[in-house]
Structures are given as structure tokens and as C-alpha cells.
Chains A and B, each alone.
Chain A
Amino acid sequence: MKKQYFFSACMLTLMVMGAPADLFAEYGDVVLNKRAEQEGVRPVIFSHWFHRIRFRCKVCHSELGFEMRAGANQVTMDGITEGKFCGACHNGQIAWSTENCDLCHSGRPGIKSGIYGGHQTMGPGRW
């Protein structure tokens, strides 16, 4: 009888502890999946937090021409290889080169393109 009480007390506490406060990606994570999954590779995940430690917003959103709206940029592997968009840095010199497919193509199958929230928000436009 006492064992059951102990077990229930632990289960109840673990349920309270385990209730997730955040359900989604790190705040600011962008998924690029206009073509990736169709072409047989994992969707791309771009994390803002990693990049803003190293670059100010204007570098990508002014110098490199990234529109500040998920889905508005035509990012293709051809373009990247030519040094456009991600390829301006991911060329083996400033950052890893495009030979490392898996480092960018790391998304779960089925995730849609867009920018994701986390920690009390559900992303832009709604929370």
C-alpha cells in the first residue's frame, strides 16, 4: 500500500516537472524547404542565434540581399555555389563549404518552410 503511495507521488511530481514549457525550435530558427525534400534531401535549418553572435543583421539583410521574410528568397544550390546568399560565407573560407551537405540539411522530414518561435511564443504574427 505504501509502495503505491510512493510511486504515485513520484509519478505526479515527474508529470509536473516534465510538462514542457517550450514546444518548438529555438526562437528565430528558419526552415528552408521549398525544394529540399522534393529533391530527396533533409530540409535546411538556419538558426538566427548562431549567426547573430557573429554577424549584425545588416550583413545578411542588406549586403547579402536576404529579404526579411521567410519564403521570399530564391535560395538554390546553384546560387549558393556561385557565392549568392548562404554561399557568400559558406564557401570554405568564412564558414564551412557546401561539401558538408548534412550540416545545413538537418531538418526533420515534413517540416514546412517558415520561421519558428520558441520559449513562450509560436513565431511571428501569433503568440
Chain B
Amino acid sequence: MMKKTNTKKNNNRRIKSVMMTIVVLLAVQPLSAESWKKLKDDRLHDPEAPALEVLQEPTEALSVLPPGGSAGNKVDWAKALRDDYIQPRAQIDKDAKLEQLDTNILFKETGDQPYVLFPHKTHTEWLECSNCHEKIFKTKAGETPVTMLGILSGEYCGVCHGAVAFPLTDCIRCHSVPIDQAGKFQ
């Protein structure tokens, strides 16, 4: 004679174990969302390339840097430099220039959006003047017709932001100055 397994008690136990499994599996999920793709899974590297035994995994290098949101490399590179997490060399040639500027530029043609504050300081810690001037931006304020359409198409700020520097997914990172507070930055 078959044992009766379809009792209320057993069914409750089964439902509980299924629920527990789902809870555990879902709890583990956020851990994977924070990590970076393994080189063999990034659809760029050849999974059979001998290089993969030698090259450093992004997770190893990037997980110890200050987090920078969920887009791009997910690292706050400016903070990483400022707070000494990384010490990238500023020059190879001893005579190369090291120019740092501290002026801010306020972009006010932003439609209804908060104004954009461009900080020279953060940028000149990484870049040379000639990297942007004059090919991408004219030195004279107001002379470059910067538009969101242009930026999104990879022009102006979009030469770097969207390619290597933090992407354009988080508007407020640039559009950070409410219109009524513009006076502080002028």
C-alpha cells in the first residue's frame, strides 16, 4: 500500500522549501549585478585566447576603487585619483607640461534643465589643454555650439563622456546647478 504523501503538512513543508529556495536564489542575485564581466564572458575577448591566463580580471582591479554608480566602469575615477587609490603617472617625458587650471565654466543654454558646471580642475588632473582646445572646444567662452544632440553623437563632451569617462546615463552629474543657484558660480 502506498504511503500517503499528499497530506496538508507535507504540502506546507514543500511550499516552504520552494519559497526558501526562491528567497535564497534572489538574495544571491544582487552580488552578481555589482561585479564586472569576466574576460572570457565579455563577448570581446576570445575565450580560447592564451592571454586570458595572464590578463588581470576587471573585478580584481575595479572592485577596490571607489564605486561610481552602476554605469560605465562603475568606478568614481576622479575620487580614485583625488583620494590616492590610484597614482597614475602624469608624464613619461620629463619635460612634458603639467598644467592644472582651477576655473569653472557654467553652461546656461540647457533648456529647462539645471545648468551644467564644467570643472577645469578635475579635467586638467587627467588631460592636457590641447586635448580639448581648440579642436573640440574653443577657448573663448560662448564660441562652441555645444548641444545635447552633439554630445550624444560623440561630439564635445561626448568625445570622452560615453566612451571612456562616465557615460551620459545620469543627467544630474553634469546638470548639477539649479537655475536659481547660478549666482554662486558666476
Contacts and interface: CB of A to CB of B under 8 A. Distances in A.
What DSSP secondary structure best describes chain B's contact surface?
A: loop
B88 interface: yes
A106 B158 contact: no
B29 interface: yes
A102 B28 CA distance: 35
Given A63-B93, A120-B169, A126 B159 contact: no
A5 B17 CA distance: 11
Contacts of B51: 102-106
A117 B42 CA distance: 11
A26 B164 contact: no
Interface stretch (B53-61, B111-119, B137-145, B173-181): B53-61
Contact of B169 (A14, A89, A121, A125): A121
B1 interface: no
Interface string A35-56: 0000000100101111011111
Interface residues of B, number: 63
A42 to B, nearest CB: 6
Interface residues of A, number: 63
Contacts, number: 194
A121 B42 contact: no
Contact of B88 (A14, A17, A55, A107): A55
B103 to A, nearest CB: 18
Contacts of A63: 91-93, 96
Interface of A: 2, 5-6, 9-10, 13-14, 16-17, 21-29, 31, 42, 45, 47-50, 52-59, 61-64, 68-69, 88-89, 94, 102-109, 111, 115-121, 123-127
Given A50-B56, A121-B71, A121-B167, 7 more contacts: A9-B18, A9-B21, A9-B22, A23-B43, A26-B58, A106-B55, A117-B162
